Amino acid sequence: MPISRVGLVVHGGRREAVSGAQTVRAWCARHGVGCVDIDVWQGQGSRHTPREEVEAAGSPDLIVTLGGDGTFLRGARIAAQKDIRVLGVDLGKVGFLTETPVADVERALDAVNAGESECEERMMLTMRASRLLEVPTPEEAVLCYGRGPALPAPQPETDPEEDHPWGIALDVTALNDIVVEKLARDHQVSVGVYFAGRLLASYSADGVILATPTGSTAYSFAAGGPVLSPRMRAVVFTPVAPHLAFNRTVIANADEPVALRVLPHSGRAAVSVDGQPRAILEPGDWIGVIASPRPLRLVRLTPTNFYGRLRERMRLTDAPATAADGEAAPMFRPASPVPDDLRHLQLPPPP
C-alpha cells in the first residue's frame, strides 16, 4: 500500500539524524506525501501520551525513526497505538532494532511506497495493575535523572472506578522490557513472582526484568539473561542481583501471564517500560505482564541477519588460538534444491 503520511521521530542531538530527517521531508514533498514531526520534546514542558502523539500527528501509516535503539523505542510506543509500520534508520553503535543505513533512506522509502518491502512482526508486552499507577512528583525528579519530565502515567483501558478482579488494563506497550526495581538504594525490592497463576518464588533483589525476545539483548542480557531469537514468542524473566540461591532466568511461553506482587516488607518499587519510568508501586500492589495481542510491524528491505548483527554488536571475534572459519555456513545454502525434510525451516535466501 503506498505511503500517505509519514511521522518522523528524530534524535535531535545527532547531526546525521537531523540531516536524514531533511532527506525524508524532501522525499515526502516530491511524492506528495504528508510528513510531520512527532514525539519531539523540547524544553521543560510536559510530555504527551503515545495516544495523544499519534492523534496529533494525524495517524500516519509509516513512522520513520532516525537515531539509535532509544529513538526507535520512542517511535515504537507511538506505532503500537494504531498498528503503524516502523522504518528504523540506523545511527546507533550497539543497537539491534534499526537496520537501514541513513544513506539508504530514500531507497527504503521508494521500496515501501512501491510495496516492495516486507513487515517483520515483533512480540510486545502489555500490563494490568491492581490500581491506577502514577509517579508522584518528588520521585519523578529522582527517576528521570535530570532528563526532563517523565512520560505520563499509564492510562487505563477500562473504567478505573469499577471493581476489576483481573486488574485494570493499562495503555502500555513494551518492545524490550518491563522492569520492577528498588526505589531506595538501601532497601531491596521484594516481590512474589507468579507464572500462569502459580507462585514460583519470592525474590529480594535490586530488581526483576520481564523481557520480550527482542529485549533479550538489552537489560536482561546485561543482568545475565539468555539471548533469544526475535522471531520467538516468549516472556523472559531475569532477576537482578537477587538474594536467592536460584538466580537463573525463567522463560515462559507467550500465552502464560506473569504477575509480580510487591510484598509487605518490601521497599517501594519503580516500574519502567522500555527504560522509561512510568509508575511507583507500594507494598501490596501487583502488576500482571502479558504478551500484547498486537505485534509491532518493522519494515525490512531484506531478511534480518540477527545472528550476524549479534556477532558484530557483541564483538564475538575469534580467539587468537583458533582459526576463523572462512568457509560458507554448513548446510546453508548449497547450490542445489532444498530437500523436502528441510523445507519447513527458516533458510536464508539463495546467494
Known catalytic residues are 69
Q: How far apart, in whole angstroms, are the C-alpha atoms of residue 42 and residue 14? A: 15
For the chain, the maximum distance between any two Cα atoms, rounded to a whole number of angstroms, is 65
- Tracing cell 502489555 back to the chain, one arrives at 126
- Looking at this protein, which amino acid is placed at residue 337? P
Q: How far apart, in whole angstroms, are the C-alpha atoms of residue 252 and residue 260? A: 14
Q: Tell me the sheet residues that pair with 119.
A: 299
Cα distances (angstroms) measured from residue 316 to each of 94, 307, 328 = 13, 11, 18
CA 256 to chain CA mean position, Å = 19
- Looking at this protein, which amino acid is placed at residue 185? R
Residue from 305, 264, 262 nearest 120 by CA: 305
Q: How far apart, in whole angstroms, are the C-alpha atoms of residue 34 and residue 159? A: 35
Q: Where is 26: in which H helix or E strand? A: helix 15-31
Q: How far apart, in whole angstroms, are the C-alpha atoms of residue 220 and residue 110? A: 36
CA 257 to chain CA mean position, Å = 18
Sheet strands (E) in the chain = 5-10, 34-37, 62-67, 85-90, 100-101, 118-122, 125-129, 168-174, 177-182, 189-195, 198-205, 207-211, 234-240, 250-253, 258-262, 269-273, 276-281, 286-291, 296-300
